[in-house]
Amino acid sequence: MVVGEMPDGVDLLVVGGGPGGYVAALAAAQLGRKVVLVDSTGPAGLGGVCVNVGCIPSKALIELADTVHDRKAWAQRGVSTAGIEVDMGAFQQWKGGVVSALNNGVRSLLKAAGVEVRTGYFRFSRPDQGVLECQDGPPIHLRFESCIIATGSRPVHLSTLPHDGRRILDSSDVLALERLPQSAAVVGGGYIGLELGTALAKLGVEMTIVEALPELLPGVGSSAGTIITKRLRNLGVTVRTGTKVTGDDGARLHLDTPDGPDALEVDTVIVAVGRIPNTDDLGLDALEVAPNEQGLLEVGPDRLLTPRVAAIGDITPGPALAHKASAEAHVAAEVLSGHPATFDPLTISAVVFSDPEVAVTGLTAEDASESGYEVDIASFPLSASGRARTLGEDLGSAYWVFEKGSGTLLGAQIVGPHATELITEAAVAIEMGANLEDIATIIHPHPTMSEALAEAALVGLGRPIHVPLRR
């Protein structure tokens, strides 16, 4: 021990206050542990990126955009929509209230559970100890019995598009805009780029989405990407796939397209090409562990890095999703508290708040085939859904991926209204080992969007009602 180093003793230390960290702290406290949670922004950062500058603010912006756009769409249904105006300043005040309420809610839960929250950057210095660097005071040494790392991720910044917060923005910058640009380009056609690009287009911004790969939403499935692309073009969004960005000169975004070099004049450039795990400044050498090539910490089903230290959330392999982090948090807290637990879900649903919404769970047909299953797909188009029609929607579908013969459900995808709310039925069915017959014989209420899953199951059984029999 260094002379003068007087460590504070901590029973269970949680590093990071996001959806993984604060859930881990609460779960550990419920198991009788004395918990200290440290976050670089302290109590103000509770809820993490998700609550403060990610999931919640983005969905607030999307709801605003959908409301404005839907009112215009209702004009042909007999509703006068003249005089709609958007005040982004007022929106930001309202959004701030939403974020503050959720942040305060997390703070209250931690306080009630007896969790101590401290502010500072934490780095490991030994296998059972680290240093909390505080902005307004000397560093504090903390020795822990157990530790859960939940430091999350941050937006990727491109060297060809240096972030300045004025012209070159990241997703957090967009969600804080007090004034909308006249034109913008989103670099990245994944879920973040699509959500932001669609919302801004609905608010009247002239939008272009640039994606280096051949289709939008890479990895989700070509059918979803095709439907989304069609809707974006209906919204007036220019979609440029197979196109790379080579730089920006302050007025024009320079592109490398399949037809050669090109340039795009836009007011704002939004970089949404992914996120990078926050594992590069944790002092991991002291634990004798190192991130992999993607910067992720490899963990087993017990989420342990060492006998004392667990890692969860965006810093571990798998989808970087808040609900995955929260689920892992329970496992880590239980394992470090001496209880048997493993993280081994059959499925982790992913949702995209695009237009229409996209939700997927379980295996894709390709993944299922590679895993050795003899696979089939059963699809039901939303153009045949009465409820979708009343919502003014005819694009989209629901489909099941299932094993031939047994009909066991392996995966599902929904593209359409409320897909993000509906996908959990499919996830529960897969986790419970259900088959097509189980879903088809459950009586779904009419008229609802949930009927699409039952109708797709009937298609797979060869007994369709509202679409023709497959030949």
Q: What is the pLDDT along the chain (471 residues), one digit of tens a residue?
A: 444 468 899 999 999 999 999 999 999 999 999 999 999 999 999 999 999 999 999 999 999 999 999 887 777 788 876 778 899 999 999 999 999 999 999 999 999 999 999 999 999 999 999 999 998 889 999 999 999 999 999 999 999 999 999 999 999 999 999 999 999 999 999 999 999 999 999 999 999 999 999 999 987 866 888 999 999 999 999 999 999 999 999 999 999 999 999 999 999 999 999 999 999 999 999 999 999 999 999 999 999 999 999 999 999 999 999 999 999 999 999 999 999 999 999 999 999 999 999 999 999 999 999 999 999 999 999 999 999 999 999 899 999 999 999 999 999 999 999 999 999 999 999 999 999 999 999 999 999 999 999 999 999 999 999 999 876
Q: Cα(279)–Cα(23) distance, rounded to whole angstroms?
A: 20
Same domain as 102, residue 57: yes
Q: Tell me which DSSP letter residue 38 carries.
A: E
Tell me, yes or no, whether 160 lies in a domain.
Answer: no
396 appears as a binding residue in the annotation: no
| Angstrom distances, CA of residue 364 to CA of 205, 342, 360, 431 | 34, 24, 9, 15
Q: Tell me which DSSP letter residue 89 carries.
A: H
Tell me, yes or no, whether 161 lies in a domain.
Answer: no
Last residue of a domain, one of 225, 251, 272: 272
Same domain as 456, residue 409: yes
Query: Measuring CA to CA, which residue among 156, 107, 420, 122 is closest to residue 274?
Result: 156
In DSSP terms, 208 is beta-bridged to 185, 238
Whole-angstrom distance between the N-terminal and C-terminal Cα of the chain? 76
What residues make up the domain containing 395?
Answer: 350-461
114 appears as a binding residue in the annotation: no
Tell me, yes or no, whether 310 lies in a domain.
Answer: yes
Same domain as 432, residue 298: no
3-state SS of 214-267 is CCCCCCCCHHHHHHHHHHHHHCCCEEECCCEEEEECCCEEEEEECCEEEEEECC
Rounded to 5 degrees, φ, ψ at 430 are: -65, -45
Q: Cα(138)–Cα(123) distance, rounded to whole angstroms?
A: 14
Q: Cα(410)–Cα(367) distance, rounded to whole angstroms?
A: 10
Cβ atoms of 106 and 46 closer than 8 Å: yes
What's the pLDDT at 1?
Answer: 43
Query: Measuring CA to CA, which residue among 426, 457, 294 is closest to residue 363?
Result: 426
Same domain as 266, residue 176: yes
| Angstrom distances, CA of residue 99 to CA of 37, 73, 102, 427 | 20, 29, 5, 29
411 appears as a binding residue in the annotation: no
- The two three-digit tokens of residue 182, written as one number: 């006249």
Cβ atoms of 296 and 319 closer than 8 Å: no
4 appears as a binding residue in the annotation: no
User: What is the CATH classification number for the domain harbouring 194?
Assistant: 3.50.50.60
Sheet strands side by side (includes 183-187): 168-169, 268-271, 183-187, 206-210, 238-240
59 appears as a binding residue in the annotation: yes
Q: What is the dihedral of CA 310, 312, 314, 315, to 10 degrees?
A: 10
What's the pLDDT at 74?
Answer: 78
Tell me, yes or no, whether 360 lies in a domain.
Answer: yes
Same domain as 284, residue 268: no
Interior/surface letters 204-218, b for 16+ CB within 10 angstroms, e for the rest: ebbbbbbbbeebbbe
Cβ atoms of 174 and 199 closer than 8 Å: no
Same domain as 12, residue 143: yes
Same domain as 175, residue 129: no
- The two three-digit tokens of residue 173, written as one number: 């910058």
Tell me, yes or no, whether 469 lies in a domain.
Answer: no
Same domain as 310, residue 215: no
Same domain as 121, residue 31: yes
Same domain as 453, residue 357: yes
CA 76 to chain centre: 34
User: What is the CATH classification number for the domain harbouring 442?
Assistant: 3.30.390.30
Query: Measuring CA to CA, which residue among 255, 218, 220, 252 is closest to residue 240?
Result: 255
72 appears as a binding residue in the annotation: no
What's the pLDDT at 353?
Answer: 97
List, by residue number, the catalytic residues.
Answer: 446
Same domain as 324, residue 292: yes
What is the total count of domains within the chain? Answer: 3
Last residue of a domain, one of 250, 272, 294: 272
Task: Give this prediction's pTM.
Answer: 0.94
211 appears as a binding residue in the annotation: yes
Last residue of a domain, one of 227, 256, 272: 272
Tell me, yes or no, whether 201 lies in a domain.
Answer: yes
Same domain as 173, residue 146: no
195 appears as a binding residue in the annotation: yes
